[in-house]
């Protein structure tokens, strides 16, 4: 039993999870009461943002901190252990959710908003925040399931046949992925007898490396599926374009990044020795994902499906950092997650606006939007540049870090060429080029070409319509807000880079993380 009572101020560690859970429960209880559920949800999300800001401030100032439930000593009680990386991701995820909440005011049909959009949104955020903040592996599994079940609900909201189709594929494959995750957790428990992350980081080095590598491989497969890495990415372009754009944005922005985060946690922090054994596999997966994602986007004509392929390409970049796993590689992955959370969500939001303005989902039928609605075209172009990593924008900094790490690892300076690092560096550059081609082609087809494909005349596209006042204020406003964030963080990257450096330091030397839970002193 713990003798000391948790200080009142430390309870803030569980706020980002507790608030949305309570909020969602209240919203479900008040199902029949239709007075401003959106206002309530927005207030809850704003409170979560405030809690996350405070957590991040503390984590940056004093290093990781921990709180253990139920008065049990750490290896037994379930710990919430917050480091700068977890708090930072939780903050960005909550902020993105807030913007989507604004956008949803104009995007979702009235019925969808009535049928539980707000409780599901809060539950999704609870799952995401929980996954970012928890310090217990089985607890991470539970948060993954919370996330999964609420994303199922969001994805079928509205119940069109298209959504049913997408959700079945999404549902089955993600359920298999979490089942594999649970299998890995079970085997790890059998090997180490503990599920507390800090405790695992402490004792993992002493275990037999062969079974540990098998467990790590299972983690890689399970989280790779969650993150949509190359051989197991088929579900993402099959499902993320089916729900309304606001929900696409939420799922596309948040969920795959939680998979990458979990990979960082398990492979880099918990099982670094096994990650080294798996390094060639991760490198192959990263290179393949980097190249095949944007190639898919180039061949794709459905706008939001193409964006889905761009998401997959980004996952490759995030995996590249895990394959390289030196200081700047990890910092690159951590900053890439922040970049992807913001940019991908914004891209889906703008894609939704384009679909509204053109009345089509396929780029064959779009065109001429540049003349009709210039602001959308500017937003889309900025985001395309950001996704491909063109300098002034946000995507540049993570890719710079990753490239630096790849070239360092390649050992060109010492003339001892390391082929995988070199391949990753080359793939990163090629990925930027291919992403730029895919993005600018989309831009040309949607905005530049005067009308649908095949129309020879220079006459304006008759399918275009003006955005309503509501769509302009909530939709364009929300998308501009996120794009503004992408531009500003790109122009002033110092806080982001600080976060990345702190994440890399915490992950590569887990001493402080272990000490935070009170298990210090015995680190190997």
Q: Is 145 in the site for other proteins (CB under 8 A)?
A: yes
Q: In terms of CB distance, is 190 or 280 closer to other proteins?
A: 190
Binding string, 354-393, against other proteins, x = CB under 8 A?
A: --------xxx-----------------------------
Tell me how far, at minimum, the Cβ of 451 lies from other proteins, in Å: 12
Query: What is the CB neighbour count within 10 angstroms for residue 273?
Result: 13
As given in the structure block, the two tokens for residue 88 are 């930072």
Q: Is 182 in the site for other proteins (CB under 8 A)?
A: yes
Per DSSP, the three-state class of 68 is strand
Q: In terms of CB distance, is 142 or 407 closer to other proteins?
A: 142
As given in the structure block, the two tokens for residue 147 are 């996330």
Per DSSP, the three-state class of 480 is helix
How far is residue 151's CA from residue 156's CA, in Å, rounded to a whole number? 9
Tell me how far, at minimum, the Cβ of 387 lies from other proteins, in Å: 18
Q: Candidates 145-153, 324-332, 343-351, 384-392: pick the segment binding other proteins (CB under 8 A).
A: 145-153
As given in the structure block, the two tokens for residue 94 are 């909550």
Tell me how far, at minimum, the Cβ of 185 lies from other proteins, in Å: 8
Q: In terms of CB distance, is 298 or 497 closer to other proteins?
A: 298
Q: In terms of CB distance, is 327 or 439 closer to other proteins?
A: 439
Tell me how far, at minimum, the Cβ of 399 lies from other proteins, in Å: 25
Q: Is 450 in the site for other proteins (CB under 8 A)?
A: no
Number of residues that bind other proteins (CB under 8 A): 48
The answer to whether the beta carbons of residues 296 and 442 sit under 8 Å apart is no
Q: Candidates 97-105, 300-308, 395-403, 504-512: pick the segment binding other proteins (CB under 8 A).
A: 300-308
How far is residue 57's CA from residue 440's CA, in Å, rounded to a whole number? 38
Contacts to other proteins from residues 211-240, by CB under 8 A: 237-239
Q: In terms of CB distance, is 40 or 448 closer to other proteins?
A: 448
Q: Which residues are registered as beta bridge partners of 136?
A: 196
Q: Is 436 in the site for other proteins (CB under 8 A)?
A: no
Q: Is 332 in the site for other proteins (CB under 8 A)?
A: no
Reduced 3-state DSSP string for 178-217: HHHHHHHHHHHHHHHCCCEHHHHHHHHHHCCHHHHHHHHH
Rg of the chain (C-alpha set):
22
How far is residue 43's CA from residue 46's CA, in Å, rounded to a whole number? 5
Nearest in space to 129 (alpha carbons), one of 92, 98, 102, 171: 92
Q: Is 444 in the site for other proteins (CB under 8 A)?
A: yes
Tell me how far, at minimum, the Cβ of 162 lies from other proteins, in Å: 5
The answer to whether the beta carbons of residues 114 and 65 sit under 8 Å apart is no
Q: Is 203 in the site for other proteins (CB under 8 A)?
A: no
The single residue among 42, 46, 183, 203 that binds other proteins, judged by CB under 8 A, is 183
CA distance between the termini of the chain = 26
Q: Is 186 in the site for other proteins (CB under 8 A)?
A: yes
3-state helix, strand, coil in the chain (%, to 5): 80, 0, 20
The answer to whether the beta carbons of residues 130 and 21 sit under 8 Å apart is no
Buried b (16+ CB within 10 A) or exposed e, 334-349: bbbbbbbbbbbbbbbb
Per DSSP, the three-state class of 242 is coil
Q: In terms of CB distance, is 191 or 523 closer to other proteins?
A: 191
Q: Candidates 117-125, 183-191, 426-434, 513-521: pick the segment binding other proteins (CB under 8 A).
A: 183-191
The answer to whether the beta carbons of residues 98 and 155 sit under 8 Å apart is no
Q: Is 321 in the site for other proteins (CB under 8 A)?
A: no
Q: Is 72 in the site for other proteins (CB under 8 A)?
A: no
Tell me how far, at minimum, the Cβ of 1 lies from other proteins, in Å: 10
Q: Is 164 in the site for other proteins (CB under 8 A)?
A: yes
Q: Is 138 in the site for other proteins (CB under 8 A)?
A: yes
CB proximity list for 256: less than 8 A, separation 6 or greater: 226, 227, 228, 236, 311, 315, 340
37-62 and 84-107 helices, crossing angle to 10°: 160
The answer to whether the beta carbons of residues 475 and 356 sit under 8 Å apart is yes
Q: Is 77 in the site for other proteins (CB under 8 A)?
A: no
Q: Candidates 127-135, 320-328, 388-396, 438-446: pick the segment binding other proteins (CB under 8 A).
A: 438-446
Tell me how far, at minimum, the Cβ of 21 lies from other proteins, in Å: 16
Contacts to other proteins from residues 452-511, by CB under 8 A: 453
The single residue among 168, 213, 217, 481 that binds other proteins, judged by CB under 8 A, is 168
Tell me how far, at minimum, the Cβ of 234 lies from other proteins, in Å: 9
**Interacting residues with other proteins (CB under 8 A):** 138, 141-142, 145, 148-149, 152, 156, 159, 161-162, 164-169, 171-172, 175-176, 179, 182-183, 185-187, 189-191, 237-239, 241-242, 298-302, 362-364, 441, 444-445, 449, 453
């Amino acid at each position: 039993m713990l003798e000391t009572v948790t200080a009142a101020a430390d309870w803030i560690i569980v706020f980002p999870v507790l608030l949305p859970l309570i909020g969602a429960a209240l919203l479900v209880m008040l199902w029949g009461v239709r007075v401003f559920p959106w206002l309530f949800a927005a207030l809850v999300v704003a409170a979560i943002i405030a809690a996350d800001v405070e957590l991040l401030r503390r984590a940056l100032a004093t290093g990781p901190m921990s709180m253990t439930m139920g008065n049990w000593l750490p290896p037994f009680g379930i710990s919430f252990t917050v480091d700068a990386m977890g708090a930072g991701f939780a903050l960005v995820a909550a902020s993105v959710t807030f913007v989507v909440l604004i956008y949803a005011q104009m995007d979702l049909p009235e019925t969808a908003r009535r049928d539980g959009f707000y409780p599901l949104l809060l539950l999704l955020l609870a799952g995401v925040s929980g996954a970012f903040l928890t310090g217990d592996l089985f607890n991470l599994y539970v948060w993954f399931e919370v996330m999964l079940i609420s994303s199922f609900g969001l994805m079928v909201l509205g119940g069109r046949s298209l959504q049913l189709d997408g959700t079945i594929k999404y549902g089955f494959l993600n359920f298999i992925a979490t089942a594999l995750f649970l299998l890995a957790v079970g085997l790890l428990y059998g090997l180490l007898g503990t599920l507390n992350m800090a405790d695992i980081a402490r004792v993992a080095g002493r275990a037999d490396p062969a079974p540990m590598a098998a467990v790590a491989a299972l983690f890689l497969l399970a989280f790779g599926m969650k993150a949509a890495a190359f051989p197991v990415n088929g579900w993402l372009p099959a499902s993320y374009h089916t729900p309304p754009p606001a929900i696409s944005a939420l799922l596309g922005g948040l969920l795959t990044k939680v998979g990458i985060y979990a990979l960082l946690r398990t492979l880099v922090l918990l099982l670094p020795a096994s990650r080294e054994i798996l390094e060639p596999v991760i490198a192959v997966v990263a290179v393949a994902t980097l190249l095949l994602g944007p190639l898919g986007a180039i061949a794709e004509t459905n706008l939001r499906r193409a964006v889905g392929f761009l998401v997959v390409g980004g996952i490759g970049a995030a995996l590249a950092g895990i394959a390289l796993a030196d200081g700047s590689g990890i910092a690159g992955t951590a900053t890439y997650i922040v970049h992807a959370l913001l940019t991908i969500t914004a891209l889906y939001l703008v894609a939704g606006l384009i679909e509204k303005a053109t009345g089509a989902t396929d780029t064959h039928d779009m065109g001429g939007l540049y003349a009709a609605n210039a602001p959308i075209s500017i937003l889309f172009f900025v985001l395309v540049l950001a996704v491909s990593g063109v300098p002034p924008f946000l995507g540049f900094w993570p890719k710079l870090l990753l490239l630096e790490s790849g070239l360092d690892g390649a050992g060109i300076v010492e003339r001892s060429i390391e082929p995988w690092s070199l391949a990753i560096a080359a793939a990163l550059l090629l990925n930027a080029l291919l992403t730029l081609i895919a993005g600018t082609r989309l831009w040309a087809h949607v905005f530049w070409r005067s009308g649908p494909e095949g129309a020879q005349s220079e006459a304006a596209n008759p399918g275009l319509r003006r955005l309503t006042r509501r769509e302009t204020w909530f939709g364009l406003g929300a998308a501009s807000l996120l794009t503004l964030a992408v531009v500003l963080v790109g122009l002033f990257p110092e806080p982001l880079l600080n976060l990345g450096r702190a994440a890399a330091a915490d992950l590569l030397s887990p001493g402080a993380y272990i000490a935070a839970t009170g298990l210090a002193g015995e680190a190997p």
